[in-house]
Amino acid sequence: MPSEPTLLAFDTSAAHCAAALFCDGGVVATRVDEMARGQAEHLMPMLEDFMSENGKSWSDLTRLGVGTGPGNFTGIRISVSAARGLALGLGIPAIGVSTLKALHHIHPRETVAVAAPREMIYAQDPGGAPTLIALTEAPNAVFAHDPSAMIAALAEVAAEADAANAERPKPLYIKPADAAPARDTAPVILP
């Protein structure tokens, strides 16, 4: 049986930078820095400090876990790109975990949800696929209220994953982008 991973999990899909350290079979530390903006500049120094505070370095890691959303479009892309770059540089696997899957880890028999714009939610029933629905369609849905518990759950899910067969993490997009391509022909800059 393979040994337990030493895993760093992180997420920037909401108004925070969150991290968890999983080693010796469980989550040993979490950190959540609440912030509405600035995750891109904050993430890497925060991770470095967090690992140092817990006696770990990048070379100790055998796996990464990363939040893939749904959530803030830019935030998701920040953490996913950081995880993919770190995994490549460190030569270790990165496991993408959706917020909904982490929430199901805590509440396995409930419909779970993440707030979406315009009175909508991203919801997922146990065993179902994530979907975008009106808030009123899932009145008993369970939402994530504790970022520390969520990042711990994300780390646990990533630690349990089959790293040998995991795809590279990618953002979870449940609905198409709100932006549309330009209708006008792009100007010719060089003839």
Residue 170 located in a structural domain: no
Domain membership of residue 62 as a residue range:
7-108+146-165
Model confidence, pTM:
0.90
Give me the pLDDT at residue 189, please. 78
Lowest model confidence (mean pLDDT) among 31-45, 79-93, 164-178: 164-178
Residue 127 located in a structural domain: no
**Dist CA 29 CA 22 (whole Å):** 7
Give me the pLDDT at residue 183, please. 77
**pLDDT, tens digit, 9 for 90 and up, residues 133-190:** 999 999 999 999 999 999 999 999 999 999 999 999 999 988 776 666 677 777 777 7
Q: Percent of the chain, pLDDT > 90?
A: 84
Number of separate domains in the chain: 1
Residue 153 located in a structural domain: yes
Residue 57 located in a structural domain: yes
Residue 19 located in a structural domain: yes
Give me the pLDDT at residue 12, please. 97
7 falls in which pLDDT band (50, 70, 90)?
A: very high
Using DSSP bridges, classify how beta strands 112-116 and 142-143 pair: parallel, antiparallel or unpaired: parallel
Q: Percent of the chain, pLDDT > 70?
A: 95
Q: Please compute the mean of the pLDDT values over residues 117-139 and round it to a whole number.
A: 95
Residue 124 located in a structural domain: no
Handedness of CA 78, 83, 88, 89 (dihedral sign): positive
Q: Please compute the mean of the pLDDT values over residues 80-89 and round it to a whole number.
A: 98
Domain with residue 87: its CATH number is 3.30.420.40
- Whether cis (ω within 30° of 0) applies to the bond prior to 70 is yes
**Whole-number average pLDDT of the chain:** 93
Residue 150 located in a structural domain: yes
Count of residues making up the chain:
191
Give me the pLDDT at residue 1, please. 37
